[in-house]
Structure 1
C-alpha cells in the first residue's frame, strides 16, 4: 500500500459529513507540521454548525518574497443517504475490482492525500525550494459555504497575504486522471420572483387578478432570451426556472400570488447587475412593475472566474503530459466550487482531481490506478513552478 492510498483510506474512514471534520484536518496538519508548515485554525460559525478551517504555510526562507502555491480543498463530504443502498459501509474504505469505495473517495479525500504526499516527496528532494507552499482546507464546501473558504480568503486579504497560484483538488477528470482540468467556473445567481395578484373565486375572474397568467408571458420571454454568446472559455449564460408555487390547493380559487425560483449560470460576458436589469426590463415590458406588481430577491452565490493559459496552466499541463501522456482539456463546465472565493485573492486558480463519475452517488469510488498518478502530477507541478521561479 502506497502512502497516498493509506492516507486516503485514513481520511475516508472519518465520517466528516458537512460541516463536521472529524479530525481530518488534524491528521493532515500533523503531517504538514512534520515538514515545517506553520498551521493555523481559522474556525468559524455558531457552535451548533462549527466549521473547521485550516491555513498551513511553508517557506524555506522567510526573508524572501517567493511566489506561493496553494493547495485548496475540503474535508467535508455529502450525506450518504440510506446506508442499506450501499454495497459496503461508506465510512469503511473497501476495495473491490481495483477500486477504492467510500464516501469522499472521489470528492475529495483522495486529492487531499495526494497533495500531502506530493509535498512530502517534493520537500524531501528540494528542502529549500524557490516557492512557498500553503494549504487552505475547510469543512464547509458541501454545505452553505458561508463559514469556510470565504472566511479564510477574507482573513488573508485583510492580512495582505499574496497568493500567486492555487490548485483546488476537485474531481475534474472524466475517464482518466488528468484528462480534464477546470481553468474557470461560471457564476451562479438565484432569484425569487413573487408576482402579485388578487385572490378570488375562479367563476368570477373579473373580480380577481391571476398572477400566474400575469407572469406567464414574461417567463416565456425570459426562457427564450439569449443572455450572451459566451466566449472561447465559457458557454452562453443560461437561465432556468427551478420551482413555481402558487395556489391555495383548491381548484376553484384564483391565487393571490405566485412565487418563481430561478437561477442564472453566467459567463464572464455578463455581470450580475446586467442580468438583473434585463430581468426587470422584461417584467416591465409585460406590465409588471416592481413593488406594485412583483417583488424580487437576488442571491449571488458566486461570480465567474477564469485563469487564462499562463504559468500555472502550463505547469499543470506539462505535469499531466509527463506523467500520463495526456493532452489535458481545459474546461469551465460544471457547478460552482470554492475556487470562486479563492479567485478574489489569487489571479491563477485551476481545479484538478480524479474522475468524477461517482461523486455524491451511492458507492462512490475511485480507481486505485488513478491515485498515484494524481499524487505524481501534483508533485510535478511543484517541481515545474519551483523551476520557473528559480
Structure 2
C-alpha cells in the first residue's frame, strides 16, 4: 500500500516555490515509473510539468489534475516548524503545500498506484501535474493539455484535487467555477487650477461617475448553480500630491467574478460601451484594458458528477453540496478538454503560516479517490 501521508511529507520537503520544480516532479516521476506508468516531462518555457499514464493510449480513461508548486512561505521566523521540513507530529503534517495541494497530489498518486497494482483496469489512468498553478498559469496545465492534444492523449473525465471543503470532509465538491476578469481603467482629462474648474476637465469626476454606475445596479441575480456576479473596485489612484490642482489623469482597477450568464468578452463590450457614453458626455477619455483569467463553466450534473458525489457520501457520511464558489483553479483549462469536477481536502490553512493537514484526512482522500476509480472501471 502506498502511504499518501508519507508521500505528502516527502513532497513538502521539495522546495517547489513557483516556478521552481524543487525535486517534486522527479520524486513523483520515479515513483510512478516504478509502478508501471509511462511518464513524460512536458516542460514549457521553463515551467515544469509531468504527464503519466497507466494503460494504453486511446482507451477509456480517468484523469486527475493537480499541482506541486506552492506560494512563498513568507517570514520563516513565523513558522513553528521550517516550511519545507515536512514535519510530522501529533497526527499533523506541517509545511508549505500541506493543504494546497501537495496532499491532494499525494492522495491521487497513491490511489492510482494502488488501484492499477491491485486491480488493473480495463482502461487508462492519467495524471497531469503542473508546477505553474500558483503562477501565471500560461505554461502549466495549458501546456499539458496542448501536448496531450498533439500526442493524441485523452482524458474522458477528470478530478482536480484542489481543496474543496470549507470545514468538514465531504461537505462540498465543485462542479464549476465563476469566471474572472480584471479591468484597468485609465481616465485622461485636462489639468488645471482647482479654483478655475471651467478651464480643466477633471478625470476623477468622470472616473468616479463611471465606477458609481458600475456598482449601482447588480449585473444579474444569479442562476440555478451560480451566485450573482460580483464586481469589486480594488484600486483608485491619480498620483496627485497637490490639493489645489485638478489632475490630468486617474486610474482604477475593477475585478469581476462572473457566472455563466456572461463571458469575459461580453463584459468587456458592456463596460467599454458604458465608458464611451461617459467619455462623450464629459470630454474625459476613459479607456479599458481587460485581463480575462478564466471563463465561467459548469459541469452539468449527470453520471460523472453522480459517481463522485455517491462515493464521497459513502466514504464520509455526508452528501456534498454541488458548488461553483471560490476563486479560479486549473479546472478552468481542463473543462475545455473533458468534464471536470473538483474534490479535495478541507482548505483551512491554504497559503497561511504554519500550513498543515491531518494525516488521517490525506489517507481518507486517497481512499475516496481509489473508490472512485474502482467504481468508474467496474
- Residue in 2 that maps onto 1:54: 50
1:107 aligns to 2:103 (yes or no):
no
1:40 aligns to 2:40 (yes or no):
yes
CA distance in 2, matches of 1:100, 1:42: 29
Q: Superposition pairs for residues 266-277 of structure 1, below 5 Å? A: 266-277=258-269
Structure 1 residue 15, shift from structure 2 partner: 1.0
Instruction: Please identify, of 332-341 and 265-274, the stretch whose mean Cα deviation from structure 2 is larger.
Output: 265-274
Structure 1 residue 73, shift from structure 2 partner: 0.6
Gaps of 5+ in 1: none
CA distance in 1, matches of 2:206, 2:284: 13
> 2:179–2:297: 8 Å Cα contact kept in structure 1?
yes
1:10 aligns to 2:2 (yes or no):
no
Structure 1 residue 160, shift from structure 2 partner: 4.2
> 1:247–1:256: 8 Å Cα contact kept in structure 2?
no
> 1:288–1:294: 8 Å Cα contact kept in structure 2?
no
Decide whether aligned partners of structure 1 residues 327 and 147 sit closer, same or farther in structure 2, where only a CA change above 3 A counts: same
- Residue in 2 that maps onto 1:330: 322
Q: Superposition pairs for residues 65-80 of structure 1, below 5 Å? A: 65-80=58-73
1:260 aligns to 2:252 (yes or no):
yes
Structure 1 residue 41, shift from structure 2 partner: 1.0
- Residue in 2 that maps onto 1:212: 204
Decide whether aligned partners of structure 1 residues 113 and 197 sit closer, same or farther in structure 2, where only a CA change above 3 A counts: same
Decide whether aligned partners of structure 1 residues 98 and 225 sit closer, same or farther in structure 2, where only a CA change above 3 A counts: same
- Residue in 1 that maps onto 2:310: 318
CA distance in 2, matches of 1:101, 1:149: 26
Q: Superposition pairs for residues 13-24 of structure 1, below 5 Å? A: 13-24=13-24
Structure 1 residue 97, shift from structure 2 partner: 4.1
TM-score (norm 1): 0.92
Instruction: Please identify, of 296-305 and 281-290, the stretch whose mean Cα deviation from structure 2 is larger.
Output: 281-290
1:370 aligns to 2:361 (yes or no):
yes
Q: Superposition pairs for residues 68-217 of structure 1, below 5 Å? A: 68-127=61-120, 129-217=121-209
Decide whether aligned partners of structure 1 residues 23 and 95 sit closer, same or farther in structure 2, where only a CA change above 3 A counts: closer
Secondary structure at 1:363 match in 2: coil
Deviations 1:9-39 (A, max 9, x none): 1001111111111111111111111222111
**Over aligned residues, Cα RMSD in angstroms?**
1.9
Decide whether aligned partners of structure 1 residues 367 and 291 sit closer, same or farther in structure 2, where only a CA change above 3 A counts: farther
> 2:132–2:141: 8 Å Cα contact kept in structure 1?
yes
Deviations 1:110-157 (A, max 9, x none): 111111111122112212x12311111111110111111112212223
Decide whether aligned partners of structure 1 residues 356 and 289 sit closer, same or farther in structure 2, where only a CA change above 3 A counts: farther
Q: Superposition pairs for residues 210-359 of structure 1, below 5 Å? A: 210-288=202-280, 293-346=285-338, 348-359=339-350
CA distance in 2, matches of 1:155, 1:186: 26
> 2:170–2:317: 8 Å Cα contact kept in structure 1?
no
Decide whether aligned partners of structure 1 residues 296 and 126 sit closer, same or farther in structure 2, where only a CA change above 3 A counts: same
Question: Aligned residues, how many?
Answer: 378
Structure 1 residue 199, shift from structure 2 partner: 1.2
Secondary structure at 1:265 match in 2: strand
TM-score (norm 2): 0.95
